[in-house]
Structure 1
Amino acid sequence: MRGWSIARQLFLGSLLFVTVITAVVVTLAFLDSRDRAYAQATQNTTAIATTIADSPLLLEAAKSSDPSALLQPYALSVIAGTKVDFVTIMAPDRTRWTHPDPSQIGKPYIGSVDQALAGKTFTEITAGTLGPSVRSIVPVKDSAGKVQAMVAVGVTVSTVEITLNARIPVIIGLGLGLLAVGGLVSWLLGRYLRRVTLGWGPKRLGQLFSYYESVLHSVRDGLVLVDRSGELVMYNDQAADLLGIPRPSDNTEPPALATLEIPASLKDLLASGRSVRDEIHLTEERLLVVSQDPAVLPGGRLAEGTVTTLQDHTDLRRLGDELRSTRTFTDALRAQTHEHANRMHTVVSLLELGRTNQALAFATEDLSLSQHLVDEVIDAEKEPVLAALLMGKLAQASERAIELEVSWDESVSLESISPHDVLTIVGNLLDNAMDAVALNEGPESSRLIRLELRKENTEALLKVSDNGPGIGLADTSVIFQRGFSTKEADETGRGIGLALVRQSVQRLGGQLTVTSEESGTVFSVRLPLRIEGGKA
């Protein structure tokens, strides 16, 4: 039986239980019917014997010389009218005055008469001339209370059994009905269990549950299980950490999905049950790549729910931002190297032509412009990561014929802000501004971006403004939603930059605002600065 499925074991167990219960019920019903049959026979014989004993004819016959002549016809008429097997009227010395068999008249009565002689009515089951019978014996008393005769009325056991046998088909039918209903219920229950357990046995189910628990809590990705009604079934520890919700407990039911403090977009996805692949969702601190598939039983068609995997790409995104900044700086260095080579060829050519003064003037002017570019950004008191980013962006803007003006207050210190957040905020805002001003076409069109970083009280104010065509939306807050982009839909990585900027600003406890007109767009970021010694 170890290899049997739970459905088969339960079906056989239920069927055996129903069979035992049916046998017990049938036995009890049979015993009850037998007792009722004997009780009914006792009641009938007692009532008839008492009625006969109350008749004045018995005392009159007892005083006559031939009681049988008077009583035998009377007894036979009673037997015929009441369907009892015998009515025996006897003298106190047991001598029969009446009997269904005339040859037994005058012979002694077979049975107990002591209680009747004592003036009491009683019933017994004993064997007589007609076989085993149920008989009631009633004394016949005169006016003085003396027993003058006794009346025994009885039915044979075979007669009682006939009555009992008439009830046996009903009892058997009841038993078969119980067995049929119990078997049907057991079969339906077994069929249901076979469907929900896939025909697996308890040993295999136990193994699968152990493996399932191990896999659920050992994978590095977050797993969330939701049923078809959109309610949370289970989630692992990794999912709890990624979503910022309490870890699951074995003693409590999972919380309702509507009560979880997770982003609305992710909550809607979990409740919808739709299938997605590598969809990006932002929480307060993390960038999650979410995939969701239906959970379908083997051989089934209807989904029981969904299985959702959560992958943390926050660090990967940060590395991507750093790589993008590094590439920007590398491209800028490559462009500067190319320009420097052209300028050096120009200086050498001027020297070969003997125009020393012109070569010296050209080199001095070129050195002055390069030093101005360096002094514009790099300062010993400023952040090297941000300075390197701006150097790359200045070169990138120059290549794209964009004028990038940088105004950096030397009193602003960003040491309390993570370099990753600085790169995310400044890099994405400048990239969007460059894409916006690149839409200004024509020889007379100017492409201007201004970056301003200054200190206001205990906050750092960062402004990035451009003279592009503007956003063109009445509600500018939608541009911070994940997936929104004004660029081509088929471009990769679109619709995430400004959402990451908002995420970083919110995590740092700052404020992000945007104003847009036809003359351009201004992004303003306020970030709280760390206060040391009472000064920011």
Structure 2
Amino acid sequence: MRISLRVKMLLMSFIIVITSVTTIGWNMVNNVTDAFEKEIGERAVAIARTVAQMPDIRQQVGMEGGATEIQLIAERTRKATNVDYIVIIDMNSIRYSHPNEQLIGKRFVGGDESEALANREYVSIAQGTLGNATRAFVPIMDEEEAEQVGVAVVGILTPTLQAIIATYSQDIFIALIWGLLIGLVGSYLLARSIKKQTFGLEPYEIARLVEERSAVMQAMDIGIVAVDEQGQITFMNRLAKTYLKSEERNFLMHLQDVFPQSWEAIGQKEQINRNVVFLDKNYLISTYPIHVKAIYAGTLVTMIDRTDATRLAEELTGVKVLVDGLRAQNHEYMNKLHSIAGLIQLDRTEDALDIIMDESVDEESIILFLKERFKDYAISGLLLGKRSRAKELGITLLIDQNSYLTEIYGSLSSGDLVTIIGNLIENAFESFENGADEKTVECLIEIDKRHLMISVRDNGRGMTKELQGKIFTYGFSTKGKEGRGIGLALVHQIVSAHHGKLKVESEVGLGTEMIIEARKEGEMND
């Protein structure tokens, strides 16, 4: 069970107030007691010195019958000085005066007079017959100041610490209550203010939000940089640190130092999108001003590597597949043209014509087949380009003679089919080990009134059951290279979105066949 911030602050304030009041009160009582004892000690010493210098006292101490006169003098002085008692003792600790006349002639009580009998002057606190008292001891000398004849003791009763606390307990209790009330009210107001500033969230909720925010920011595939209202960078996610090489630069740098050519626009506190070259790389920079209660608080900057963005766009749209095919076809034709040019230079015109005719017949045959069987030129162009790329890679691409595809695909668009077919064939190309003898890829595409079926089979290295369960995961690639593992994930995504079925049949060392089945209406095929 979590305790709320408000309750925590109230409990903490209660403990602080109790501790503070108790500590301060205890120290104050001790300090006052010490000061009081020091003051009355000095007063008692002054009175005791006066009594010890009285001639009648000096003469009568130690004399038989001297107690009568000494008692009169002591009591008169006691009442005049408003002390609790004045006791005169001789060198045997026998009292010659005391407020309680019945104690005259008896031994002094307290046990702290021994040093005074050794001609020393001091103050002590001890328990006497009248209670706890601060007592001043002053030696009494004879009239010639040659010999000590007794001791003058002046005592002022002092209350104990417990007695002082008992006396002022009501005041202490009232002060404690007021302190608690003020502390609790202050804590309540402070807690309410903090809760208002944190939108009613508890500390653990704020911590969780910060952790979630950080996790989301770090997981994003774009660079994110946050700056304050002064343009100082306050946050960079993992990718932004990689782009900006923050390990080699000061993290808390100004955004102007990073994008000097864009700082003027960013500083205008408006949303912008522009290309920026930084550390020899081209980035698409977008800024999003942040306002809190209509007050500008900073800017969020996103960074996208244009190279990565272009590559991903090509993968998503199928452009890369077509470009690769055209490049391979261009490469193949260039080789043929070089051969023809060489034969002509050697005056082997008949051989050159044979190559031209063979190539013409071969290309005319495949082009005629694709035009008759595939009504969508994007699909025809894709297969033609893949055929040229296969020749470049030393692979035989066989398009099944039963393949047939009209322009009607149900919910699947032409772009979807280009992505599916292109990625399946490309994946088949990549299934072959280097140096393999016969490399063959067979492609079958057919459609009837209700069903569409696409099959791509290769005699490559095949896959284990474990790999078959991973190949459609975004980012997973058997090549283990960064930026791979997108094609088959896109295929799976498109097929699933159109309620189709994707089946993989593979055996290690024998090859793999991938089959896609879908209804033209986009429903799951039974």
TM-score normalised by the chain length of structure 1: 0.47
Bigger relative contact order (CA 8 A; separation at least 6): 1
TM-score normalised by the chain length of structure 2: 0.48
